[in-house]
Structure 1
Amino acid sequence: MTVVDTGVLAGVTGASAGTALAVMLVAFAVGTAKGLHRIVDVAWGIAFAAVAVVAWSLAAGHGDDARRTVVALATVLWGLRLAAHIARRGRGHGEDPRYARMLARARGNPTLYALRTVYLLQGGLVWLVSLPVQVGVLLPEPLGPTAFVGLAVWATGLSFEALGDRQLARFKADPANRGRVMDRGLWSWTRHPNYFGDFLVWWGLYLTACATWQPALLTLVSPLVMSGLLIWGSGKRLLEAHMADRPGYAAYRARTSGFFPRPPRRTTPAPTRS
């Protein structure tokens, strides 16, 4: 049976919440000064990495060293890669249309509205989604078969996400593709290889972090919440609403999976009139 010192666990979870809040408050200050709240998307990955480092540090001497280090390192690698990618992608661009529309609907002070509905909300989600990391660093059990399966799932997700991002960046860099819908490589198998990669990363981390049924049950909410965000929340749903009117997107949507990868459907061309 897994035995975790509840006092240490409270300290780790409390410090993790404070860390996520601190990262988001710094991002809020920078985003407000620049007038670009899209910076919160960069802070999202940084906050996960920072929480993992803090949890790893506070858990020293209280859990299996290998599990503690593997869980934290996997989270840091994913978070920093994502933050760097989003920072490069957004360089030189204006506000993200999602945040522009959100703030246009704000009642009262739009800056305070952004703080509540963008930064503080995402800080809370970072803390909730990263619960497997916060608990996993404290577990005394050595890495076992479930953890190794989890690492394989995590590695698959990270690779899938990174490859999809690279393919999209190359596509956009070609002036001949301006205005066209990316439908090549992984993007021909799923409309959202980056979100599907995130999905695998967090289910993989969940499996890696949880040694027995007690922590698994305690932290199951975390990958479920991340899955909900990616599929029905601020990920796939909002992006597809933004892309809906782009020429060629309806045909792309008809032949390509919305989330889980599969070979593209063959579409029958419309009959021509003689």
Structure 2
Amino acid sequence: MLFSIFFSKDLLVLDGLSYIQMIDLYWTVIPVLLVHFFGSHPDAEYNSWRSTVVVVLTWVWAIRLTHNYFRREKWQWGAREDWRFADMAQQHGQNWWWVSFFGVYLIQQVFLFGVCLPLYFVHSVNKPLNIWDVTALVVCVCGIVYAYFADTQLHAFVSKNEKLKEEGKAMVPNLEEGLWYYSRHPNYFGEQLWWWGLAIFGWNLGGRWVFVGALINTLCLAYVTTLVEKRMLKQEYRVDAYKMYQETTSVWVPWFKSSPKLLPKEKDS
């Protein structure tokens, strides 16, 4: 089925339930399958406590991400296309079917392989637990919890604005409460914490290159961040407010507000 989706231009561009709209769910399923595959392999060798912790963490992370996907999509599966893919499809036109295959779908398999490498090391090395396992556990849990609350606050904000729009009232330009007061993208920050925490598990077991996957994921999120912010600045009702938000609020890492830059007229006065 996946091959028919990959190589069919009609499915990639037109089908409402195509792979292009289910990539988020794909990301939540593969790590869970991989952690069980590595753990159940005949040649697997691991510390049972570490394995149990990592398996549980992977399941909790996947459930959180899946729940957020369905909540965001109003509990429907593949009901709408991600605006980023829609923009790229419009940009590349007739070439989108092959550009998407190599530049979106195929490359994501590489990303998944990279970020899931720690799951392999966890089930390849039998080493007693140490302080780095505790550190990795704390980072992973903080990432999952932080991303959950950030996404929940975002969902409440979006739902409120949708209701205001239906009632013909002015929408609120920005979400600047809760975690979003200290960071413009706290959900991305939480997601990065999860992958870096997972990488610590692998590094502790001798996986010297496991941080590469987390780094690539961070670079991808950096690119996505620029796309999101450009889109925000295209919406007239929030342009000025969002520019101010950019000046005063940290991009990812939670931090205190900074003072906005003064305009020339304000400096003179």
Per the TM superposition, whether the score is higher than 0.5 is yes
Task: Measure, in 2, the Cα distance between the counterparts of 1:78 and 1:240.
Answer: 26
Q: Alpha carbons of 1:106 and 1:211: their partners in 2 closer, same or farther (altered >3 Å)?
A: same
Q: Deviations over 1:197-218 (max 9, x none)?
A: 0111111111123334x32x13
- 8 Å CA contact retained: 2:147, 2:191: yes
Match in the other structure for 1:170: 156
Q: Tell me how far 1:74 sits from its aligned partner.
A: 1.5
Match in the other structure for 2:87: 101
Q: Tell me how far 1:90 sits from its aligned partner.
A: 2.5
Structure 2 counterparts to residues 3-14 of structure 1, below 5 A: none
Task: Measure, in 2, the Cα distance between the counterparts of 1:51 and 1:26.
Answer: 23
Q: Residue 157 of structure 1 aligns to which amino acid in structure 2? A: G
Structure 2 counterparts to residues 1-274 of structure 1, below 5 A: 33-34=15-16, 37-58=20-41, 61-91=44-74, 94-106=80-92, 108=94, 110-174=96-160, 175-176=163-164, 178=171, 180-212=173-205, 214-215=206-207, 217-231=208-222, 233=223, 235-246=224-235, 247=238, 248-267=241-260, 271=266
Q: Tell me how far 1:250 sits from its aligned partner.
A: 0.6
Match in the other structure for 2:167: none
- 8 Å CA contact retained: 1:71, 1:137: no
Secondary structure in structure 1 of the residue aligned to 2:260: coil
Q: Which moved more, 1:99-108 or 1:191-200?
A: 99-108
Q: Tell me how far 1:168 sits from its aligned partner.
A: 0.8
Q: Alpha carbons of 1:253 and 1:55: their partners in 2 closer, same or farther (altered >3 Å)?
A: same
Q: Tell me how far 1:265 sits from its aligned partner.
A: 2.0
Q: Tell me how far 1:80 sits from its aligned partner.
A: 2.9
Q: Tell me how far 1:133 sits from its aligned partner.
A: 1.3
Task: Measure, in 1, the Cα distance between the counterparts of 2:194 and 2:181.
Answer: 21
Q: Residue 154 of structure 2 aligns to which amino acid in structure 1? A: L
| Gap runs ≥5 in structure 1 | 1-21
Task: Measure, in 1, the Cα distance between the counterparts of 2:84 and 2:197.
Answer: 29
Q: Tell me how far 1:240 sits from its aligned partner.
A: 1.5
Root-mean-square deviation (CA), in Å? 2.9
Q: TM-score, normalised by structure 1?
A: 0.79
Q: Tell me how far 1:103 sits from its aligned partner.
A: 1.4
Task: Measure, in 1, the Cα distance between the counterparts of 2:196 and 2:101.
Answer: 29
Q: Alpha carbons of 1:26 and 1:124: their partners in 2 closer, same or farther (altered >3 Å)?
A: farther
Q: Residue 262 of structure 1 aligns to which amino acid in structure 2? A: W
Count of residues in Structure 1 that have an aligned counterpart in Structure 2: 248
- 8 Å CA contact retained: 1:154, 1:200: yes
| Gap runs ≥5 in structure 2 | 165-169
Q: Tell me how far 1:33 sits from its aligned partner.
A: 3.6
Secondary structure in structure 2 of the residue aligned to 1:236: helix
